[in-house]
Amino acid sequence: MGRATLLLLSVAVAGSVRLQPIDGARAAVDPLTAPPGAKAIVYLFTSTDCPISNRYAPEVRRLAQQYGPRGIVFRLVYPGRADSDAAIRTHLAEYLYRGVAEPFRDASLAFANLAGARITPEAVVIAQGRVVYRGRIDDRYADVGVDRTAATTHDLADALDAVVAGRAVPHPVTHAVGCYIADLAR
């Protein structure tokens, strides 16, 4: 999905897709609508059993703590039906996501498909009702089973810095490495 497709996504998604909160106590949300005062929303597609997603938990927490005070809201999206609500609650507690990122379910994969997300972990950043970034958190993983000791580029942070500064995201699409969302749909 190129930059032009990312910009047009807001028209395709507006009002047609809802994400269900894991707690079930709140109504489903429109993924393009940010809470009052938010500059952007980061949707991080994750799953309870993707090892690469789980290894990124400390980095996701760090990014949420760094950018939360700057108006960036973090939300976790559990795509498909593979993860039960109980498994998701355990995952949230085990990886210390409670209070850091709101958890949502995309059981039908409608949001994943419209946003072009194919991997866990993959980030989708929405600012002013449109997708401005989709891709990896950083380049720590070159491929499945091929990782670096440390990341050399920090793509999600670069995108968030641009959003906070009111600039265009320099690289709106990057290649994420992890577990395929299609495998989670079962």
* pTM for this model (two decimals): 0.87
> Residue 122 and residue 181: Cα distance in Å, rounded?
10
So what's the pLDDT on residue 98?
84
Amino acid symbol at 5: T
Q: How confident is the model at residue 171 (pLDDT cuts 50, 70, 90)?
A: very high
Long-range contacts of the stretch 157-163 (C-beta < 8 A, 24+): 157/63, 157/66, 159/123, 159/125, 159/132, 159/133, 160/40, 160/42, 160/63, 160/67, 160/70, 160/72, 160/125, 162/132, 163/39, 163/40, 163/72, 163/125, 163/127, 163/132
- Helix and strand totals (H; E) in the chain: 7, 10
What count of other Cβ atoms lies within 10 Å of the Cβ of residue 107?
14
Enter the DSSP assignment of 19: B
Query: Can you list the domains of the chain with their CATH numbers?
Result: 3-184 (3.40.30.10)
Q: Which of the two residues, 71 and 147, has the higher pLDDT score?
A: 71
Q: Which of the two residues, 164 and 13, has the higher pLDDT score?
A: 164
pLDDT digits (tens, 9 = 90+) for 82-112: 888 899 999 999 999 888 888 999 988 999 9
